[in-house]
Amino acid sequence: MPASVLWAVDLFGRVYTLSTAGQYWELCKDVQMEFKRVSAATQCCWGIACDNQVYLYVCSSDVPIRHREEAYENQRWNPMGGFCEKLLPSDRWSWSDVSGLQHRPLDGVELPSPHWEWESDWYVDENFGGEPTEKGGWTYAMDFPATYTKDKKWNSCVRRRKWIRYRRYKSRDTWAKIPSKDDPKELPDPFNDLSVGGWEITEEPVGRLSVWAVSLQGKVWFRRGVNSHNPCGTSWIEMVGEMTMVNVGLNDQVWGISCEDRAVYFRQGVTPSELSGKTWKAIIVGRESDRSHSGSSSSLLSAGCFFGDEVRGSGTESAPSDTDASSEVERQGPEQPFPKESLDDSRNLKGSLSKGPEASRNPEQNMENACPAESEGKAPEASSADECHGPASTPAELPWTNIDLKEPKRVSNQPAAGFPETTGLSSLGPFPLGMEEPYGADDHPLWAWVSGGGCAVEAGSVLKWFTVQSGQSPSVQMLSLSITPAQTAAWRKQIFQQLTERTKRELESFRHYEQAVEQSVWVKTGSLQWWCDWKPHKWVDVRVALEQFTGHDGARDSILFIYYMVHEEKKYLHVFLNEVTVLVPVLNEAKHSFALYTPERTRQRWPVRLAAATEQDMNDWLALLSLSCCESRKVHGRPSPQAIWSVTCKGDIFVSEPSPDLEAREHLLPCDQMFWRQMGGHLRIIEANSRGVVWGIGYDHTAWVYTGGYGGGCFQGLASSTSNIYPQSDVKSVYIYENQRWNPVTGYTSRGLPTDRYMWSDVTGLQECTKASTKPPSLQWTWVSDWYVDFSVPGGTDQEGWQYASDFPASYHGYKTMKDFVRRRCWARKCKLVTSGPWLEVAPIALGDVSIIPESAHADGQGHNIALWAVSDKGDVLCRLGVSELNPAGSSWLHVGTDQPFASVSIGACYQVWAVARDGSAFYRGSVSPSQPAGDCWYHIPSPPKQKLTQVSVGQTSVYALDENGNLWYRAGITPSYPQGSSWEHVSNNVRKVSVGPLDQVWVIANKVQGSHGLSRGTVCRRMGVQPREPKGQGWDYGIGGGWDHISVRANATMVPRNMSREQEAHGQGPVYC
């Protein structure tokens, strides 16, 4: 569960946050405003300040909120001047929107509010449907409106081009004023209460928020159009009725402030079945400032919460380490707040800073803010921060003094203050910050308001808020991967060391002594079901027995026997576990089943399939058999940094240790002999590099980083590491389609023609899928929502979610025409899976793709940061900063601007970054280097003719791309001076995923592979004969499968040593970039 925060306002109008991972109230970064109401969502907080205006605080994030404005320039050809702006009187505007109906001159497009800024000037989009146009970006047609092409023909009478300009929401980490809806004719009716919610409404797009406000006179207002692309919303609408104050958390937790002691209370024991909960529990944790009060309280209060971290870090003896330092950086992020500037100034300043070069245009501001600007780059020290902010914190310079405020008065002296709702406006006077210490450290805090809207507390999770804590902040512990203070403790080292010495002392000279207990055969037996070898294939009941023999040397050997009856005759088959290459859980919505492969069975495409009666039973067998396999192969513990990772279509994670002859020139190891073992967790994509950094992406696009542990999931106890295993969850949607046909009498009904598809079906229409009969993908998943209409299907829908077509199957559109006789709509239902594994969430940005720079094993890669690129689920390209072996999660994201959403990214050796946009075209990023991690600009690379690319993978020098029809393409003509290459060369079809490694080895997931007994879909394959002179290789070597979805060989730079010199030699002659 990622950390989320609770927002609260104290009696003096100061806003504090409390993290679920923290133990202190932190002061809000923007301390200009005093507030009486706040209402929070995960990424933002709405509030009513003491000037009775509504403000919005959008938390900073590495990814900007940006929106693309578009305008079209239209021209018509005439014989005199060629194409010119003179249009026919019946034509559209010469500057228009996409439809041509609306006049849209470039200088007429304005920012919706002062909280937005332009990212750049208008420019022409030279990209047309994934293909580059001629210079100028013109597209041609016979007449308006028509189909435009990028080629000019003899009959092209009109042309148009698209201008684009991005605007960016700039008021982050600061309170942005939302215009109120005051009618000048009426008496002013200030806002009195505000609440946000609605983010779990499944029918609405993600990021939508419901913002409601109540005025003093009880009027209820709703803020329209609040979503992730427009955090401010568009306007207030007055709603019918009156609303009382509500504050409900994400999972129906209730938060409140007692009027008796003004403590924050939490209604505990709220569950879906018992919504009223059990008891009120007071949150009694101290504030951060209370804690470090003795050391540097004054600096804390004046410097703001932000630097409190630093003060705490140096003031307390909390095991400082490298990882501690990095986690501090993580929390601070690249942007620093500038708390003591006036509201407007700080907004401008932030804007100008994020704009970079533009900042220099405003020397006045720059001078003023020289101090904070300096501190932006590096982690600020408490002392320097004090110097910066000290002078500004005197009350005389406080910017809000020019706002109409109530007279400040001391409320804590008025015991009759009553409940916050009634005190509302009048009693909550703001107190000048830093003028005096309002209360001593021993006082228990007096709260005025609380909001839990963005605070996710899952049922059954444990908070440390109800006891006073001592010791280190758990957020620090959580973020420090692989090295926890306990593990490095002296006592632990001492025990390890002494045990080793003891064994040496008591055993070394006495090994010839007889053992008191003789080792024997151990047998585990049980009942399973087996998918029989003969036709008709079906599940038959079998008895199974695992026999383990332990020799005197401790080596172990195991055989699995499967006893079955055929024609009343007892038979059995047996498998030596040291020959088993993988044990893999199988996707099956009804049975707990797994498959067992040996090299022979991999070639046959016919594994031994076994099913257990219960999940526990299957997990027991799977864990025991896996342990036996690993033991016989002496594979144990954390995978090596060079390990090959893969993911099955079920989301299970597998890892294989590459032997040196896996990528050998001669006598190479056939890849059906690779041994795969399972790692706990659930992922859709996994990427690794040879320095042990491994990232994964879940089905719900959550990013995860490998912690260095092993086991988890079904591997409990001995097969699992003690630490570094964390809970993990994943969410995905199941889709079914409702189909209807039109008839002249009743219109559209669920009565189809006899030849029609099922009226409730899957996307193809071939399978019947009703709401009642459709199950989650496997028994591990449970439904977490009801069925809802999915409006976000390609092609668009009408208001009820219907898509129309002339007949099944056809291309659907989102509006009804005369010719449409059928319609369908998509229903979705969310399901969730909960497991555990060696993975930690990298919050908060959801990812679609990720790539880590491959490094050869012998390269001197130590020390510098590891380049990692990703594409967010929304299509933003991102570059992770601060990734290293010690801090594999990195520190922050750097956003790389693009003109359109992207789908895939890959960074090869020597910082060659390639990416694929959602429209199917490829891009090369220029000038990426350690000193310029985001590079400078994109070079558009046309896709292969008539193909839309979906994925790209870059190795040492090879660049491979995949298109939507499963064709694999090699980029030819890449040289150091021309890294974009010249053309795409077709390599193979039947490919789903490609991974190119640091040795330029090419591995793919093949779509279909025929074996002697069966067909497998989703098979790991290696390209044969790949050599420096022949990078495309020839033919495939088929490995494990089917059911595999993803592979990453990008960590494997392991080679046979004698070949290494030859390899280097060859590289020395060939095109080398470094």
Query: Closer to another protein at the Cβ: 117 or 657?
Result: 657
Q: Is 396 in the site for another protein (CB under 8 A)?
A: no
Tokens representing 263 are: 């403590």
Which residue, 429, 402, 303, is CA-closest to 343?
Answer: 402
Please name the residue ranges forming H helices in 109-253: none
Q: Which of 471, 796, 809, 973 binds another protein (CB under 8 A)?
A: 471
Q: Which of 183, 260, 506, 860 binds another protein (CB under 8 A)?
A: 506
Cα separation of 477 and 402, whole Å? Answer: 44
Q: Is 500 in the site for another protein (CB under 8 A)?
A: yes
**Cβ partners under 8 Å of residue 14, min gap 6:** 27, 28, 31, 34, 35, 431, 433
Q: Which of 279, 520, 755, 811 binds another protein (CB under 8 A)?
A: 520
In the complex, least distance from residue 610 CB atom to another protein, rounded to whole angstroms: 20
Cα separation of 587 and 521, whole Å? Answer: 34
Q: Which of 491, 552, 794, 1068 binds another protein (CB under 8 A)?
A: 491
Q: Which of 61, 94, 375, 469 binds another protein (CB under 8 A)?
A: 469
Which residue, 136, 162, 140, is CA-closest to 151?
Answer: 140
Q: Which of 517, 772, 818, 1074 binds another protein (CB under 8 A)?
A: 517
Tokens representing 509 are: 């000279």
Q: Which of 240, 516, 745, 1074 binds another protein (CB under 8 A)?
A: 516
DSSP bridge pairs for 412: none
Separation in Å, CA 671 to CA 97, 387, 801, 1055: 55, 63, 47, 15
In the complex, least distance from residue 633 CB atom to another protein, rounded to whole angstroms: 16
Which residue, 398, 411, 447, 337, is CA-closest to 37?
Answer: 447
DSSP bridge pairs for 76: 84, 158
Q: Which stretch binds another protein (CB under 8 A): 31-39, 601-609, 716-724, 935-943?
A: 716-724
β-pair type (210-215, 220-224): antiparallel
Q: Which stretch binds another protein (CB under 8 A): 45-53, 294-302, 501-509, 738-746?
A: 501-509
Q: Which of 522, 549, 576, 939 binds another protein (CB under 8 A)?
A: 522
Q: Strands across the sheet with 25-27, in order?
A: 25-27, 15-19, 5-10, 447-451
Query: Closer to another protein at the Cβ: 129 or 471?
Result: 471
What are the DSSP E strand ranges found in 11-90?
A: 15-19, 25-27, 35-40, 44-49, 54-58, 66-78, 82-84
Query: Closer to another protein at the Cβ: 68 or 492?
Result: 492
Q: What backbone torsions phi and psi does residue 850 show, to the nearest 5 degrees? A: -150, 150
Query: Closer to another protein at the Cβ: 394 or 519?
Result: 519
Q: Lay out the site mask for another protein across 670-689 (x = CB under 8 A, - = otherwise).
A: --------------------
In the complex, least distance from residue 584 CB atom to another protein, rounded to whole angstroms: 22
In the complex, least distance from residue 861 CB atom to another protein, rounded to whole angstroms: 22
In the complex, least distance from residue 497 CB atom to another protein, rounded to whole angstroms: 9
Q: Which stretch binds another protein (CB under 8 A): 211-219, 461-469, 538-546, 557-565?
A: 461-469
In the complex, least distance from residue 574 CB atom to another protein, rounded to whole angstroms: 21
Q: Is 495 in the site for another protein (CB under 8 A)?
A: yes
Q: Is 1025 in the site for another protein (CB under 8 A)?
A: no
Please name the residue ranges forming H helices in 861-1017: none
User: Around Cβ 279, how many Cβ atoms within 10 Å?
Assistant: 9
Tokens representing 529 are: 């079901």
Query: Closer to another protein at the Cβ: 511 or 570?
Result: 511
Tokens representing 84 are: 């010119």
**Cβ partners under 8 Å of residue 1063, min gap 6:** 999, 1028, 1055
Separation in Å, CA 512 to CA 500, 517, 551, 1052: 19, 14, 15, 42
Binding residue count for another protein, defined by CB under 8 A: 40
Q: 3-class DSSP state for residue 632?
A: helix
Query: Closer to another protein at the Cβ: 510 or 534?
Result: 510
Q: Is 489 in the site for another protein (CB under 8 A)?
A: yes
- Dihedral sign for Cα 1001, 1006, 1010, 1011, please: positive
Q: Which of 113, 318, 578, 721 binds another protein (CB under 8 A)?
A: 721
Q: Is 725 in the site for another protein (CB under 8 A)?
A: no
Query: Closer to another protein at the Cβ: 133 or 724?
Result: 724
Q: Which stretch binds another protein (CB under 8 A): 180-188, 421-429, 574-582, 721-729?
A: 721-729
Query: Closer to another protein at the Cβ: 462 or 590?
Result: 462
Q: Are 15 and 135 in contact (CB under 8 A)?
A: no
Q: Is 551 in the site for another protein (CB under 8 A)?
A: no
Query: Closer to another protein at the Cβ: 418 or 471?
Result: 471
In the complex, least distance from residue 277 CB atom to another protein, rounded to whole angstroms: 18
Q: Lay out the site mask for another protein across 965-994 (x = CB under 8 A, - = otherwise).
A: ------------------------------
Q: Is 498 in the site for another protein (CB under 8 A)?
A: yes
Q: Is 729 in the site for another protein (CB under 8 A)?
A: no
Q: Which of 235, 276, 467, 929 binds another protein (CB under 8 A)?
A: 467
Q: Are 592 and 613 in contact (CB under 8 A)?
A: yes
Burial class (CB in 10 A: 0-12, 13-18, 19+), 545: middle
In the complex, least distance from residue 355 CB atom to another protein, rounded to whole angstroms: 47
Q: Are 151 and 140 in contact (CB under 8 A)?
A: yes
Query: Closer to another protein at the Cβ: 290 or 790?
Result: 290
Q: Which stretch binds another protein (CB under 8 A): 188-196, 494-502, 822-830, 1028-1036?
A: 494-502
Q: Is 782 in the site for another protein (CB under 8 A)?
A: no
Query: Closer to another protein at the Cβ: 123 or 496?
Result: 496
Query: Closer to another protein at the Cβ: 641 or 1031?
Result: 641
| Interface positions, 613-672, toward another protein (CB under 8 A) | 627, 637-638
**Cβ partners under 8 Å of residue 79, min gap 6:** none
Q: Which of 90, 99, 279, 722 binds another protein (CB under 8 A)?
A: 722
Q: Which residue, chain included where needed, has tokens 């003179």?
A: 86
Q: Is 502 in the site for another protein (CB under 8 A)?
A: yes
Terminus-to-terminus CA distance in the chain, angstroms?
A: 41
DSSP bridge pairs for 267: 254, 280
Cα separation of 1030 and 955, whole Å? Answer: 14
Q: Is 120 in the site for another protein (CB under 8 A)?
A: no
Q: Which stretch binds another protein (CB under 8 A): 124-132, 268-276, 498-506, 808-816?
A: 498-506
**The 3-state secondary structure of 806-853, one letter per residue:** CCCCCCCECCCCCCCCEEEEEEEEEEEEEEEECEEECCCCCEEEEEEC
Tokens representing 285 are: 């944790």
In the complex, least distance from residue 490 CB atom to another protein, rounded to whole angstroms: 7
Query: Closer to another protein at the Cβ: 522 or 939?
Result: 522
Q: Is 772 in the site for another protein (CB under 8 A)?
A: no
Q: Which stretch binds another protein (CB under 8 A): 1-9, 510-518, 587-595, 983-991?
A: 510-518
Query: Closer to another protein at the Cβ: 280 or 496?
Result: 496
Provide the residue type at 944 as one letter.
Answer: P
Binding site for another protein (CB under 8 A): 462, 467, 469-471, 489-492, 494-496, 498-503, 505-507, 509-510, 513-517, 519-520, 522, 627, 637-638, 716-718, 721-723
